[in-house]
Amino acid sequence: MNLENICTEILKSDAEILMVAVSYRTDTHYEEKEGTTSLQTKENVEKSLADAALRWVTRRSHRTLGEPLYAMAKYEKAKRITIPLGRYGIILCAILPDSDAEKIASKLIQIAKKYSE
């Protein structure tokens, strides 16, 4: 799986996406929108990916609600969307704080499905 291609496609999918990080099995990759001031260091992004993957395992255990599609958290400086990438991966996206997270999450889900097949 080419994580760099996934990141590039996601960044191009919406102008309000600031950063995308992808983890699949033991590989990780992240990219930021050109001209964006980094909100996190590379080490913090990698830790965020690991934390998000652990939380995703917990979400999957709540089967009575159905399969989780995405999770979103709102922070002072950004919103963050987390989406599964197949069975063994995770996509983490930072978007502008006033963005339409539902609209962007829908785009991300379609991209993730394409790479999960």
Would you say the C-alpha torsion 100, 105, 90, 59 has a positive or negative sign? positive
Question: What DSSP designation does 81 have?
Answer: E
Integer-rounded Cα Rg, in Å, for the chain is 13
Sequence spans of domains, the chain = 3-116
Q: What is the pLDDT along the chain (117 residues), one digit of tens a residue?
A: 799 999 999 999 999 999 999 999 889 998 998 877 777 878 888 888 888 888 887 777 777 888 889 999 999 999 999 999 988 899 999 999 999 999 999 999 999 999 886
Q: Are 44 and 53 in contact (CB under 8 A)?
A: no
Q: Domain 3-116 carries which CATH code?
A: 3.30.450.30
Read off the amino acid at residue 7: C
Q: Are 22 and 30 in contact (CB under 8 A)?
A: yes
pTM of the model: 0.88
What the block records as the tokens of 45 is 């992004």
Buried b (16+ CB within 10 A) or exposed e, 35-71: eeeeebeeeebeebbeebbeebeeeeeeeeeeebebb
The pLDDT of residue 5 is: 94
Cα 106 → chain centroid? 12
- As a whole number of Å, the end-to-end CA separation of the chain is 11
**How far, in Å, CA of 106 to CA of 90, rounded?**
15
